[in-house]
Amino acid sequence: MSDQLARILDAKREEVTVRSARTPLADLRRLAEAMPKPRSLASALLPGRFSHAEPASPPVRLIAEIKRASPSKGPLRPDLNPAAYAKAYARGGAAALSVLTDGPFFCGSLDDLKAARDAVTLPVLRKDFTVSEYQIYEARAAGADAILLIVRAVTEAFLRDALALCEALSLDALTEVHDERELEAALRCGARIVGVNNRDLTTFQTFLETSLRLRAHIPEDRIMVAESGIRSRSDIERLAAAGIFNFLVGESLVRASNPENAVRHLIQPFSGEAVKNADNQRA
């Protein structure tokens, strides 16, 4: 685990302690269990698998991210309006949203998530560092449709329990892995949506080869999402040629002068040759 990740997780545990003192777990659980049924992230991503049934439709499904900053890049869009970006992403054709809710390191909040979700009908992922069941109930009480679980950040026992709790609350979980060992743990624990993070958490460099390498080890009955380092249409086409059709993209969209057009550009239909290559990979 990198020093940066360790610092974030330590801060997150302290944050959970403070928040749970303000709103006890029992109260939060009641709020979460009283929420309407979430929107399905899994259903939004399943069409991302290439199908001859819809040859004119873009096989790409994009989780478009809303974030103001990151520890590695600093401020990205400090004045970001979550509702406006959510609407722009939806108009551009995004399948779902990801909203950073960490405050100290990403300048986000649960209010950002609420504002984004209220603005659109897309499923919304709470992207944060989940280290406690408290945060899972908190996410559902705030209206999140899915949460992020990072294999490297938790024990396997916690991951298994967290996935079970998500199922009980009808929440989807994007379970994030960085290598083969973490992927094996995610699959053992029953992860249905597997996010492959292309970012090396030690150097913070990104390598699309990580997704390309792990793709072959993810069963067909699971949903794969490629994360980090996806900046251009050529990146999308390279990964799609390997049978990867679901993507989480943040920085390039947040920095774009026109986020709606940026989304539309990434998910545009493939050319005949690109479709043929993707089909060959899926055969």
| Euclidean distance between the first and the last CA atom of the chain, given in angstroms as a whole number | 37
228 is annotated as an active-site residue? yes
176 is annotated as an active-site residue? yes
197 is annotated as an active-site residue? yes
127 is annotated as an active-site residue? yes
- Of the residues 15, 138, 176, 251, only one is catalytic, namely 176
- Of the residues 12, 15, 65, 114, only one is catalytic, namely 65
The three-state DSSP-derived secondary structure of 40-67 is CHHHHHHHHCCCCCCCCCCCCEEEEEEC
- Of the residues 98, 127, 182, 211, only one is catalytic, namely 127
Angle between helices 133-141 and 25-33 (to 10 degrees): 40
Q: Residues 6 or more apart from 182 whose CB is under 8 A from it? A: 151, 152
Give which of 119, 213, 134, 130 is closest to 176, Cα–Cα: 130
54 is annotated as an active-site residue? no
- Of the residues 197, 198, 211, 246, only one is catalytic, namely 197
- Of the residues 132, 198, 211, 228, only one is catalytic, namely 228
- Of the residues 15, 138, 182, 227, only one is catalytic, namely 227
- Of the residues 67, 114, 182, 260, only one is catalytic, namely 67
273 is annotated as an active-site residue? no
132 is annotated as an active-site residue? no
CA distances (Å), 94 to each of 155, 156, 249, 253, in order?
A: 32, 32, 10, 11
Q: Which residues are catalytic?
A: 65, 67, 127, 176, 197, 227-228
